[in-house]
Amino acid sequence: MKIIFSLLLGMHLLNAQIVVVTNKNSQLNNIPKEIIQYIYLAKIDKIESIKVEPILSDDKNLHNEFCNHILSKSESQYNSYWARLVFTGRKPISKRLDWQDLVKKLQVPNTIAYIDKNDLRNEWKIIYEEN
């Protein structure tokens, strides 16, 4: 049973396509991958004069996939990178949000989050999608 469950979970992850979304009322539209990276690496906090708040998911697999595919870093390297930012006074540690909090937070315009494309809601729009 456990093996079947693991296989199903694995298949689900294989099918998961990560997209970066924001509220439909946001002024943000298509954003290049490099800019998404700079925002999540805290190199910049504005895109085209718009202040952006990036949020992190507490879904471990999703977060891992995001680090690997969008940021091109392992999750552990990303942790290390954040430790560097936090303990040099640059940025506070962003709390990883569960799904409900993430949905709530995305009501605020110009907040961005990465999700599985299958979970996309009507009130959101995709600003980055890996081809």
Partner 1 sequence: MKIKNILHKITIFLLSTLPAYSNEFDIKTFGTIGGVYNDNSNYIYRKDIFQKDGSSGNLSFKTDTLIGLQTTLNINEKFSLLLQGIVNNDYNDEIKAKIDWGYLKYDSGENIIVKVGRIRTPYYKNSDNLNVGYSNLMIRESVEVYGQVPFSSYNGIEAIYSNIIDKYFYTLQANYGKENLTVPIHSLNQKANVEVNDLYAVNLTFGTTALQARVTYLNADITASSLSLDQLFGGLRAYGLNELADKYEFKDKKSEYLGFGLFLDYNNIIFSGECGHRKIPSFFANVHGYSATLGYSFDKLIPFATYAKSKMDVATYEANTGVYALDALLRAQNLAQSSETIGMKYYINEHFDIKFQYEHVVPKGDYGSYHLSTLQKPQELNVFSFALDFIF
- Dihedral angle sign, alpha carbons of residues 120, 122, 123, 128: positive
- Least distance (Å) from partner 1 to the CB of residue 58? 11
**Cβ distance 106 to 122 under 8 Å?**
no
Nearest to 106 by CA among 30, 47, 65, 54: 54
Pattern 81-110, partner 1, x by CB under 8 A: x-xx-xxxxx-xx-----------------
- The C-alpha atoms of residue 50 and residue 119 are separated, in whole angstroms, by 26
80 lines the binding site for partner 1 (CB under 8 A) = yes
- Interface stretch with partner 1, choices 18-26, 68-76, 97-105, 116-124 (CB under 8 A): 68-76
Nearest residue (CB) to partner 1, 35 versus 112: 35
Residues that bind partner 1 (CB under 8 A): 32, 34-35, 37-38, 41, 43-46, 51, 71-77, 79-81, 83-84, 86-90, 92-93
